[in-house]
Structure 1
Amino acid sequence: MIKLHGFALSNYYNKVKLLLLEHDIPFEEVTTKLPLDEALLAQSPGGKVPFIETEQGFLCESEVIVEYLAARFPDKRIFVADPWQAAKERELITFIETHLELNARELYGEAFFGGKASDEVKAAMEKRLRRYVASFKRLAKFAPYVAGEQFGVVDAAAFVSLPLVGRATQAVYGSDFLADAGIDWKTYIKLIGERATAQRVNADRKAYIEASA
Structure 2
Amino acid sequence: MIKLCGFALSNYYNKVKFVLLEHGIAFEEVAVLPSQDEALLAHSPLGKVPYLQTEDGDLCESQCIVEYLAARFPDKAIFSADPWEAAKEREMIMFVDVHLELTARNLYKEAFFGGTVSDATKGRVEKLLAHHIAGFKRLAKFGPYLRGERFSVADTAGYVSLPLVGMATQTIYGRDFLLDAGVDWKSYVKAINARPAAQRVTEDRKAYIAASRPA
Classify the TM-score, shorter chain: over 0.9
* Pairing 1:50–2:50 present: yes
Q: Structure 2: how far apart are the matches of 1:78 and 1:34?
A: 27
The residue number in structure 2 matching 1:2 is 2
Q: In the TM superposition, what whole-angstrom CA distance separates every residue of 1:54-87 from its partner, at most 9, and x where no partner exists?
A: 0100000000000000000011110001111111
TM, length-normalised to structure 1: 0.98
Q: Percent identity?
A: 67
**3-state DSSP of counterpart to 1:205:** helix
**Cα shift at 1:152:** 1.0
The root-mean-square deviation of aligned C-alpha atoms, in Å, is: 0.8
The residue number in structure 1 matching 2:41 is 41
Which runs of at least 4 in structure 1 moved beyond 2 Å after TM superposition?
none
The residue number in structure 1 matching 2:151 is 151
The residue number in structure 2 matching 1:189 is 189
The residue number in structure 2 matching 1:173 is 173
The residue number in structure 2 matching 1:70 is 70
Gap runs ≥5 in structure 2: none
**Cα shift at 1:36:** 4.7
Paired amino acid for 1:32: V
Q: Structure 2: how far apart are the matches of 1:32 and 1:109?
A: 20
Q: In the TM superposition, what whole-angstrom CA distance separates every residue of 1:133-171 from its partner, at most 9, and x where no partner exists?
A: 000000000111001111110000000000000000010
The residue number in structure 2 matching 1:198 is 198
Q: Is the 8 A contact 2:20 2:26 kept in 1?
A: yes
**3-state DSSP of counterpart to 1:98:** helix
**Cα shift at 1:104:** 0.2
Q: Is the 8 A contact 2:36 2:46 kept in 1?
A: no
Paired amino acid for 1:47: G
Q: Structure 1: how far apart are the matches of 2:68 and 2:128?
A: 31
Q: Structure 2: how far apart are the matches of 1:173 and 1:209?
A: 25
Q: Is the 8 A contact 2:15 2:160 kept in 1?
A: yes
* Pairing 1:137–2:128 present: no
Paired amino acid for 1:48: K
Q: In the TM superposition, what whole-angstrom CA distance separates every residue of 1:24-57 from its partner, at most 9, and x where no partner exists?
A: 0000000011215212211100111000000100
* Pairing 1:100–2:110 present: no
**What is the aligned residue count?**
213
The residue number in structure 2 matching 1:119 is 119
Paired amino acid for 2:170: Q
